[in-house]
Amino acid sequence: MSNIVDPLVGQIAARVRTERERRRWTLAQLADASGVSQAMISRIERGESSPTAVVLGKLSAAFQLSVASLLALAEGTTDAADAGDEADEAGPSAGGAGVRRRAEAPEWRDPATGYRRRQITGPRFPAEIAEIRLPAGARVPYPAAAFAFVRQVVWVLDGRLTFHDGGTVHELEAGDTIELGDPTDRVFVNDTDTQCRYAVVLTRDTRP
């Protein structure tokens, strides 16, 4: 089994703190921008609390990053300039191929819903691909700002996903895909009694 939750708590803490300090924001400013309480942000940055998917969505929206980007940065390195050997292990070097074994890929688990996310691509790959496992009965909402500045495709691999795209609801079965349009509030829901597994493919949008 891959590493779950605990190895990533400190890395997520460091990434949130790094992104906040890079913008020269105080805790109060990030709380105001994200809607997450200052006390909760402080606990996350100290590694005392594992943020839920909903909280990560709010923080990533404040940073104008996708949740996938925020977690991928945490799983990789605290600074892109320091990627070094870790990036070489996780992704291809110039002219070469990078192999990442299943057991080597970190897996993040949402403490509130049991949602699990495994990063497929390494930090040097031009697109971000993640595998998501959404437990039966789970519901994970994200604000519109979490989808700003990215292009994203959701591909259902197993089970059924009820996807709320703003005011529109899509029932997606295994093999179905949806290419997301302009940012809007979105909710990933598994109304079934079995796990839903899907992939998220994301690239940075070049549009302002």
- Measure the CA–CA gap between 161 and 139, rounded to whole angstroms: 10
- Measure the CA–CA gap between 126 and 149, rounded to whole angstroms: 15
pLDDT given for residue 6 in this prediction: 52
Closest listed residue to residue 117, CA positions, set 53, 189, 58:
53
pLDDT given for residue 95 in this prediction: 52
Mean pLDDT rounded to a whole number for the chain: 83
* pLDDT-based confidence at residue 30 (cuts at 50, 70, 90): very high
Q: Is the pLDDT of residue 203 over 70?
A: yes
What's the domain range around 40? Answer: 6-92+102-204
pLDDT given for residue 26 in this prediction: 96
Structural domains counted in the chain? 1
For residue 97, tell me if it sits in a domain.
Answer: no
Q: pTM for this structure? A: 0.77
- Lowest mean pLDDT segment, chosen from 16-25, 67-76, 196-205: 67-76
Q: What CATH number is attached to the domain comprising 10? A: 2.60.120.10
For residue 152, tell me if it sits in a domain.
Answer: yes
